[in-house]
Structure 1
Amino acid sequence: MNQQAEEILKFYERQGKPAGQEEILGALQELQQVLGCIPKEVQEETAKRLGVKPSFLSAFIKKYPGFKEVSAVHEIHVCTGPSCGSKDALKILRALEQESAQKERKEGISVKIVKGRCTRRCAKGPNIKVNGELCHHMTPEQAADLIRRL
């Protein structure tokens, strides 16, 4: 969590526990302004600091259309055809899934992973497309690093 978000939570934490709806609303508005969204990890910390249940905070966020849990959505296509499939495409897929789950939880950045579409660049495989940009000769480590850099 960044320093501004930490300062926001410290301020509202001092207001008393459990926080009332006005304090919750104020804290969430400020957090979203600073972070661009309110990821699950931030929701959990906010609930703890304000003395409310995480499920209550999550419902509060869903009630107000201005709040969002995800700030950006990226799409990655993983070729799992015969050629790429024989070159660790499934390991790449698993690495992408694992790293994208952490990315969404910590930063609120969603990554949609689609498998099975052949890129017709079999000789350069394994191949993936990140937001339409083709990447060749991928390894599970390189794929995970791509997610971290999104």
Structure 2
Amino acid sequence: MEINKEFYIELEKFINELKDKKNDVKILNFVLEKLDIIPIEVQKFIADKTGLLEISIENTINFYPKFRNKVSGKKIKEVSICVGMTCGLYGKEFYEELAKILEIDEDGISKDGNMLLTTKRCFGRCNKGPNISIDGEIYSMMTMSELKIRLGLK
């Protein structure tokens, strides 16, 4: 992806106007808003302009799934399964079955790199469980077969 000079001027202005110039979360949110990805060259630019180490920016990106999913430029589906008190039993079973099907790695990324699988403690819909969030949209009273259909799995 070719990034134009105007973007870098706008990014530098944004960084300069921040009270905390090392607030990489705010800066990365700005980049995502403008580009919808976080290219390596932009990470280097941020490091140069803020004095942050590139590894520090990379660690922030790896910590937040919404950033991690945007480094390569390919959109990855985010699936969170409630494992709180009410959903817990079903949630754990759903998670384990999906983890096996998708061959999830230690970071929660599927083998094909198209899906991020995580657990959440509660979505606040306990009387409608089990609850699952797919790309931020919460689905209640899910069955495993419905979930597989929504995710395009067999």
TM range (shorter): 0.3 to 0.5
**TM-score (norm. length: structure 1):** 0.44
**TM-score (norm. length: structure 2):** 0.43
Higher relative contact order (CA 8 A, sep 6+): 1
Rg: which structure is higher? Answer: 1
